Amino acid sequence: MGEVILTMKGIDKSFPGVHALDHVDFEVRKGEVHALMGENGAGKSTLMKILTGIYSKDSGSIVYEGKEVSFTSPRDAQDAGIVIVHQELNMVNHLTVAQNIFIGREPMKGIRIDDAKMVRDSRALFDMLGIDIDPRDKMSTLTVGKQQMCEIAKAISHNAKLVVFDEPSAALTETEIEQLFKIIRDLKSKDMGIVYISHRMDEIKVITDRVTVMRDGTYAGTLITKDCTKDDIIKMMVGRTIYEDPKTKSMVPPDAPVVLKVENLNAGKMVQNVSFELHKGEILGFSGLMGAGRTETMRALFGADPKTSGDIWINGQKAEIRTPQDAVRLGIGYLSEDRKQFGIVLQKTIAENTTLATLPEFMKGIFINRKMENAAAQKYVDSLKTKTPGIDQLVVNLSGGNQQKVVIAKWLCRNCDILIFDEPTRGIDVGAKNEIYHLMNQLAAEGKSIIMISSEMTEILRMSDRIIVMCEGRKTGEIAIEDATQETIMQAATMQE
């Protein structure tokens, strides 16, 4: 490894209600592949967004190539030679490969774009990287792996000196990952600094020189890859104190009936042969790192995405769930992780949102019986302790926690026996979190059965009676709450033997 190309020191960043980064340090050398690791929400992406000018820092310093810098936009960072290859591909499908690579900075020939030069320059980039792609092909005709290679070529075309790879292998096949590693090693040999963000432990051991771990927005430490084990990294990732007492035993009676049984569910790459059971009155936690396939599994179960195969039983009866309407009819409610897009209608009132899934029951001919609707809405505002001036308040004006309560009210009004809570406390303050936890425990005690997807380890350990762990579309662990620790969950989440 060469001299230091980047030093970030004491980086601090707060958003309303969230201290995202707390005096974080990070350093990259020339000719180094430096892994940046941490659980979901640890602050990795925020740190890189500050580096590349997407966010501004509140305090701290960034020294790049020996000079203190503060980029105000991604273009500033690119002009200085710092580029990021995002996990989400930013390509325009109807344009050619060459047009995508040089979009916004096309070479000109008089007043016209010089397409021939774009193709030549793209081909030279691909030759340098050892990539076999025709620059004249439409982006839409390429595989995801080849699109990712185009994204890398586009990044390198900015005369990059420091490249950030954000989960670059998430959508790649084994062969494509090998090609990616070949490109990274080649860039490393050219003295570039490389930041590699990934949850895949095996990749980290193969491709990186050092590992920096972040935890809850803080710097946890830096390890030399060849001198550390996967266990060392895991311990550093999860070594926080759990302030909430974790559950020590299941609250579910041993003879509780199975209300939902899923067998060999398949739906694309992210849901592969997933099987599990849910008991009456149980809170079943689904844990795993980003891209593990937890949400995809629940969307396939709920009929929001098509499944390719698999069987579902509800209360012992085989069920055909092809659409969300089928699932709702069978007594399943789904609280999406994106409540604003899938859970509520922001410009409607609390009353209107509460009856959304049960509207036919509130109809009187072709009109809605507002008196009945208002009574139902008031019942759930009272029982859920929703903070609002009244049931006629628009949902857009409520806090995140109270919006979540409106989504819960919608499914309680429907009287669903099985509730899927996908990231139920995301974007909610600590006080509202505790209210949601209390509510979930109360629902389980009343006999409702809950599947809870959460990226917060403390939440999983505090709420679950049993834990299913997923990694890359597969179920990799099933842990009784009595046996669950942060380490056992993380080992299953990283497919560690």
pLDDT in tens, 252-271: 999 999 999 999 999 988 99
What local confidence, expressed as pLDDT, does residue 235 receive?
A: 82
Residue ranges per domain, the chain? Answer: 4-238, 258-493
The band of 431, judged by pLDDT with boundaries at 50, 70 and 90, is low
What local confidence, expressed as pLDDT, does residue 85 receive?
A: 86
Q: Which is more confidently placed, 461 or 1?
A: 461
Q: What is the pLDDT of residues 78-87, one digit of tens each?
A: 999 999 987 6
pTM of the model: 0.62
Percent helix, strand, coil in the chain (nearest 5)? 35, 25, 35
Beta bridge mates, 109: 112
Report CA-CA distances (Å) from 401 to 147, 388, 397, 413. 39, 11, 12, 18
Query: How many whole angstroms separate alpha carbon 251 and alpha carbon 257?
Result: 14
Beta bridge mates, 18: 15
Cα distance between the two ends of the chain: 31
Residue 430 has pLDDT above 60, yes or no: no
The band of 242, judged by pLDDT with boundaries at 50, 70 and 90, is very low
Are 37 and 233 in contact by the 8 Å Cβ rule? The answer is yes
What local confidence, expressed as pLDDT, does residue 429 receive?
A: 56
What local confidence, expressed as pLDDT, does residue 1 receive?
A: 65
Q: What is the pLDDT of residues 298-308, one digit of tens each?
A: 999 999 999 99
Residue 60 has pLDDT above 60, yes or no: yes
Residue 378 has pLDDT above 70, yes or no: yes
Q: What angle do CA 3, 161, 182 make, to 5 degrees?
A: 95
What local confidence, expressed as pLDDT, does residue 402 receive?
A: 84
Report CA-CA distances (Å) from 470 to 172, 274, 315, 478. 18, 9, 25, 9
What local confidence, expressed as pLDDT, does residue 88 receive?
A: 61
Q: Which is more confidently placed, 388 or 26?
A: 26
Query: How many whole angstroms separate alpha carbon 44 and alpha carbon 387?
Result: 34
Residue 64 has pLDDT above 50, yes or no: yes
Q: Give domain 4-238's CATH number out of 2.40.50.140, 3.40.50.2020, 3.40.50.300, 3.40.50.2300.
A: 3.40.50.300
| Alpha-helix residue ranges (DSSP H) falling in 97-250 | 97-101, 115-129, 144-156, 174-189, 201-207, 230-238
The band of 25, judged by pLDDT with boundaries at 50, 70 and 90, is very high
What whole-number percentage of the chain has pLDDT above 90?
Answer: 62
What local confidence, expressed as pLDDT, does residue 65 receive?
A: 96
Query: How many whole angstroms separate alpha carbon 230 and alpha carbon 264?
Result: 30
Q: Which is more confidently placed, 341 or 328?
A: 328
Residue 339 has pLDDT above 60, yes or no: yes
Residue 442 has pLDDT above 70, yes or no: yes
What local confidence, expressed as pLDDT, does residue 333 receive?
A: 93
Query: How many whole angstroms separate alpha carbon 403 and alpha carbon 398?
Result: 6
Lowest mean pLDDT among 237-241, 262-266, 414-418: 237-241
What local confidence, expressed as pLDDT, does residue 157 receive?
A: 87
What whole-number percentage of the chain has pLDDT above 70?
Answer: 95
Residue 45 has pLDDT above 90, yes or no: no
Beta carbons within 8 Å of 119's beta carbon, 6+ residues apart: 98, 135, 136
Beta carbons within 8 Å of 436's beta carbon, 6+ residues apart: 401, 404, 405, 408, 424, 425, 428
The band of 155, judged by pLDDT with boundaries at 50, 70 and 90, is confident
What local confidence, expressed as pLDDT, does residue 173 receive?
A: 65
Task: Calculate the average pLDDT of the chain.
Answer: 89
Q: Which is more confidently placed, 371 or 130?
A: 371
Query: How many whole angstroms separate alpha carbon 397 and alpha carbon 346?
Result: 8
Q: What is the mean pLDDT of residues 8-17?
A: 89
Residue 286 has pLDDT above 50, yes or no: yes
The band of 241, judged by pLDDT with boundaries at 50, 70 and 90, is very low
Element (H, E) at 265: strand 258-266
The band of 497, judged by pLDDT with boundaries at 50, 70 and 90, is very low
Read off the tokens for 288. 């795993």
What local confidence, expressed as pLDDT, does residue 17 receive?
A: 66
Q: What CATH class has 258-493?
A: alpha beta
Smallest CA-to-CA distance from 116 within 126, 106, 125 is with: 106
Q: Which is more confidently placed, 238 or 305?
A: 305
Residue 324 has pLDDT above 80, yes or no: yes
Query: How many whole angstroms separate alpha carbon 379 and alpha carbon 163?
Result: 55
Biggest alpha carbon distance in the chain? 80
Given this chain, do its domains 4-238 and 258-493 carry the same CATH topology?
yes
Q: Position 224: which residue type?
A: I
Residue 283 has pLDDT above 80, yes or no: yes
Beta carbons within 8 Å of 379's beta carbon, 6+ residues apart: none
